[in-house]
Structure 1
Amino acid sequence: MEERLKSFKKAVDQTVFTKVEFRPKHRQQVHKQLQVLSLQQTILSMLTESKSGTEITQMLHVRGVEQIVHNEGMIYSILHEAEQHGWLSARWESGVKYYQLTKLRKKQLLQDNAHENLSLKELILGVRMNVD
């Protein structure tokens, strides 16, 4: 089986990817998109319980997430987009907006990965946090 995969990879490399070229500008765009997706996953993993944008920002600073330094507005863009997708519910309380994963989003994550024995945070982050 392994030999077949090597042959397949060689065939693909010789045909499909021979003329693919990533220019520095394209690499930067891809890198930036990956950073935003990673940040989005990190933020969503924090919202199994209700939190305000300020609390999320503080937690990200404590974790040392560098993407948000001098760009805290990115957090609110991600929160707004997730809310528009129906992944988050939001409520106002004493002038502060609190965010939390919707029940539907939690249920979808758990159903999509029912065969795995992962926690909700592990599903969102896409990593295994505890080893049995």
Structure 2
Amino acid sequence: MEERLKKLGKKQLSELKFTEQHRKNIYRAIEREQKSDEEILIATLQLLKEKRTGFELLQLLEGRNIKKFINQEGSLYLVLHELEQKEWISSLWADNHLKYYYLQDKGRKVLMKAEEKQQRNSPALKDLLGGDILYE
């Protein structure tokens, strides 16, 4: 598909016509790709059920399609520091000079509540159950 797109000139691309429904589906897909702060927090806490370095956590978040920290890795450490201040997570330095982060009991409780709320209000599930499929 990339080859076909490369072959299109700017003039040809600008001449493409989209139906209103197709345009809405595209915008909906873009919105779904952008994760909310709540989704990022839940994913971070879920991943910290096991001890992880900041670098491991960054890779795993990217694996979950969370792009917020790409080219802004330092902002992940700000989030981790804030979570430590709230006593939701803790950290420790290992003998290999790596800092590991892990979930505390307080963080587990917060995570459980957030997951319950997310399951009750899952828009993706509501869309699927309601028959709202992106590409028809």
Instruction: Tell me the TM-score normalised to structure 2 length.
Output: 0.53
For residue 126 of structure 1, what is the aligned residue in structure 2? Answer: 118
Contact in 2 for aligned 1:90/1:97 (Cα 8 Å): yes
Offset of 1:67 from its aligned partner? 1.2
Instruction: Give the aligned partner of residue 69 of structure 1.
Output: 70
CA distance in 2, matches of 1:66, 1:127: 22
Determine the C-alpha separation between the residues in 1 that align with 2:119 and 2:100: 26
Once the two structures are superposed, the pairs formed by residues 1-132 of structure 1 within 5 Å of their partners are 35-93=36-94, 94-106=96-108, 108-109=109-110, 122-123=115-116, 126-127=118-119
Supply the distance in 2 between the matched residues of 1:66 and 1:46 (Cα, whole angstroms).
16
Percent identical across equivalent pairs?
31
Q: Determine if contact 1:35/1:67 at 8 Å carries over to the other structure.
A: no
Question: Quick one: distance in 1 between partners of 2:78 and 2:38?
Answer: 12
SS at 2:49 equivalent: coil
Post-superposition offset of 1:105: 3.0
**Secondary structure in 2 matching 1:67:** coil
- Provide the rounded CA distance (Å) in 1 between the counterparts of 2:47 and 2:58: 11
Unaligned runs of 5+ in 1: 1-33, 114-120
Count of aligned pairs: 86
Task: Indicate the RMSD between aligned Cα atoms, in angstroms.
Answer: 2.8
What is the Cα deviation at residue 109 of structure 1? 4.1
TM-score, normalization: structure 1? 0.54
Query: 1 CA distance for matches of 2:61 and 2:110?
Result: 23
